[in-house]
Amino acid sequence: MPPRAKITKDMVIDAAFEIARETGAENINARTVSQKLNCSTQPVMYHFATIEELKRIVYEKSDRFHSSYLMNVDQQSEDFMLGIGLNYIRFAIEEPHLFRFLFQSGYAVENSLLEMINSEELKPLLVVMQEAVGINEKQMKEVFLTIALFAHGYASIIANNSLEYDETVVSNHLRQAYRGAILASQEEKNEKVV
């Protein structure tokens, strides 16, 4: 009889990630992961002392997946920020369980949106956006905050099945919010100069 296939730590993480995508992170447990891997619960508990530890690693994997999804836009486009905002909302439509896990489960590392805006991971994105729009870093953070809140509101409502997605309507609203945030930051700059 051939030896049984060894269940690796990565296999456990991948199986738990698929459970999070398909039915929600709240359904990650030793039994569901072992069923996904077609094995006993022993390999799952061998690699992870607790299910909480596994969920935190799956959260990190989900966050990387989400970041990659968001950045799938033309960085040279003047609508770069709009593209990211729309991708954020599309993610909520296409991956509602992961969206809720990332943003509505309490697993986020940042304690606030302001901490996220000041994170090292976001700096390259803000620099690209700043150059495209021609405003300073502080103004870009304000614009980003406005769009992030706007997109998150739309995405949350959609992910929780409270609104049907109409890309034309959402795109127009997002574009108006973006232009409005830029104009407000430029007005503020001009008021300080006078």
Q: Are 98 and 135 found together in one domain?
A: yes
The reported pLDDT for the residue numbered 183 is 86
Instruction: For residue 115, give Cα distances in angstroms to 85, 111, 119, 122, 123.
Output: 19, 7, 6, 10, 12
Tens-place pLDDT, residues 4-50: 569 999 999 999 999 999 999 999 999 999 999 999 999 999 999 99
Q: Are 26 and 88 found together in one domain?
A: no
The reported pLDDT for the residue numbered 194 is 45
Q: Are 185 and 89 found together in one domain?
A: yes
* Residue 97 reports pLDDT greater than 90: yes
Which of 13, 29, 62 is the last residue before a domain boundary? Answer: 62
Range of the structural domain that residue 26 is part of: 1-62
* Residue 80 reports pLDDT greater than 80: no
Q: How many domains does the chain have?
A: 2
Q: Give CA angle at 155 (154, 157), nearest 5°.
A: 65
Tens-place pLDDT, residues 130-181: 777 778 888 888 888 888 888 888 888 888 877 778 888 888 998 898 888 8
The reported pLDDT for the residue numbered 109 is 64
Which CATH number does the domain housing residue 15 bear?
1.10.10.60
Q: Are 171 and 120 found together in one domain?
A: yes
Which of 62, 83, 103 is the last residue before a domain boundary? Answer: 62
The reported pLDDT for the residue numbered 78 is 57
The reported pLDDT for the residue numbered 5 is 63
The reported pLDDT for the residue numbered 77 is 56
